[in-house]
Amino acid sequence: MASQPPNGPNGQSLDRSNLIRFSSRLKEGRALALDVWTIFSAVNLPADCINLGQGYMNFAPPKWVTEAAEVALHDVAPNHYSHPRGRIRLREAIKSFYGPQFNRELDVESEILVTSGANEGQYSVFTAFLEHGDEVIMFEPFFDQYLPSVTFNGGKPVYVPLHPPKDSVKKPTSDDWTIDVEELRRAISPRTKMIIVNTPHNPVGKVFTKSELESIATIAEEFNLLVMADEVYDCLVFDGKEHVRIANLPGMWDRTVTVGSAGKAFAATGWRIGWLIAPKSIIQPTLAASTRIVFCTNSPLQEAAASGLEQAKERKFFEIQRAEYEERRKILCDVFDELGLKYTLPEGSYFILLDISRVDFPEDYPFPESVLGRGRDFRACWFIATEVGVSSIPVSEFYCEEHANIGEAYARFAFCKDVDTLRAAAKRFQQLKRYIA
């Protein structure tokens, strides 16, 4: 017979539902909050809702890449532990593919680290470099994972806004979201350790210009900051715009870690393969952290990612993929134009910010508890998903509480979906007409 749990001193039965207190670090960085991905996940929305919310593709990776995964699975070595730095084939492929873009011969032993997605790579950098109370500057809106990844490692996020396009701009592009360099300078304190620069940017689509990056570089040099260049969308830059790597600016290599993702490059977000490129002084401590966090990244899919990078140039893969994304982007832009709704034309990444201030919905609509008490954008996105049948993500989630009102004017639509899905969404958007004030 199972033994009975002990009772309290007076024989009363004890509440055993919460015996072990969890770490206080979970109380920071919104780690326990009901996150936007859960609220707007497909299971909570009408069954036939078209999902333009979360940023993952509804198409498979290229066949020649998945074939390489199959080959690896049928081999022996790639079914076992890899070196914590990553499999040598992938490190060699990263060296060949990216070396010329960094104008240097990358050292596969000390300047490249394969990680479990960009996300774990970034987490490992925070673990390796942050002391308790160190400040990390991030531009708002920001990729939401940064926040708990920083606070779990004792860091303190400091927010600097990307200023939205002025009302007078009739057809804004992501270039109309601007930084104020003086504002950035004012955000620096003696505790500032790091700055995250995400270009092309999620969710704005902004591709930082050389002159913006030069201003950031000047500040990084002046205050001795570590720069995390989150460039996971580097292969998705449109309209002939140049993707400038901050690591290539004078003096910046020594203080910059550049983050990449096979998930974004090869439509394989579930593979969890990413990489860091940086000098030895940054990779070495990060490797020490990463080795303790995951030890190594899954091996067969490293082989597949290597095969992707090895063949990409000859197959003109990234050129073709870019053109496909431009076509996808156009489908949404065309319908928003037709409806007369303002949006930010993204010059990179795969998100469009739609200005939803003119979308009029009844305040007494039967909204679930999860969106009540949040920004207006949560209600607007919920309303659009249920009435029009297309889901999106409310942008206030990408802001700190203090500045959430800036994000409330926007919904983020992901266009990493096949053209049929986007055309079906465009058709549904016609129903939005009657809700535009």
Ligand X SMILES: Cc1ncc(COP(=O)(O)O)c(C=O)c1O
- Point out which residues bind ligand X (CB under 6 A): 55, 117-119, 143, 198, 202, 230, 232, 261, 263, 269, 274
Burial of residue 214 (CB within 10 Å: 0-12, 13-18, 19+) is middle
Q: How far is the CB of 1 from ligand X (least distance, A)?
A: 49
Q: Among residues 305 and 356, whose Cβ is nearest to ligand X?
A: 305
Pairwise CA distance, residues 265 & 270, whole Å: 12
Closest listed residue to residue 332, CA positions, set 435, 412, 266: 412
Distance of CA 8 to the CA centre of its chain: 48
Backbone angles phi, psi at 333, to 5 degrees: -60, -45
Phi and psi angles of residue 63, each rounded to the nearest 5 degrees, phi first? -60, -40
Contact 429/390 with Cβ under 8 angstroms?
yes
Q: What are φ and ψ of residue 367, in 5° steps?
A: -75, 145
Q: Which two tokens stand for residue 164?
A: 């939205």
Nearest approach, Cβ of residue 410 and ligand X (Å): 16
Rounded least distance, CB 387 to ligand X, Å: 27
Return the number of the residue (389 or 407) whose C-beta is nearest ligand X: 407
Nearer Cβ to ligand X (196/282): 196
Q: How far is the CB of 434 from ligand X (least distance, A)?
A: 33
Least CB distance to ligand X at residue 218 (A): 24
Of the pair 66, 116, the CB lying nearest ligand X is at 116
Residue 263 Cβ vs ligand X, minimum distance, rounded to whole Å: 4
Residue number closest to ligand X, CB atom:
117
Least spacing, CB of residue 198 vs ligand X, in Å: 5
Closer to ligand X by Cβ: residue 392 or 428: 392
Whether residue 113 contacts residue 123, with contact meaning beta carbons closer than 8 Å, is answered with no
Minimum CB–partner distance for residue 364 and ligand X (Å):
35
* Of residues 100 and 270, the one with the C-beta less far from ligand X: 270
Cβ closest to ligand X, residue 212 vs residue 230: 230
Closest CA to 384 of 334, 331, 341, 326: 341
**To which H or E segment does residue 146 belong?**
helix 146-152
| φ/ψ (deg, to 5) at 371 | -100, -15
Least distance to ligand X from the beta carbon of 270, Å? 9
Distances (CA, A) of 387 to 366, 369, 384, 425, 433: 12, 18, 5, 12, 12
> CA-CA distance, 85 to 274, in Å (whole number)?
12
Q: Tell me the chain's radius of gyration from C-alpha atoms.
A: 23
Measure the CA–CA gap between 398 and 179, rounded to whole angstroms: 16
Q: In this structure, are residues 235 and 267 in contact, taking their beta carbons and an 8 Å threshold? A: no
Indicate the residue among 143 and 152 with the shorter CB distance to ligand X. 143
Q: 66 or 269, CB closer to ligand X?
A: 269
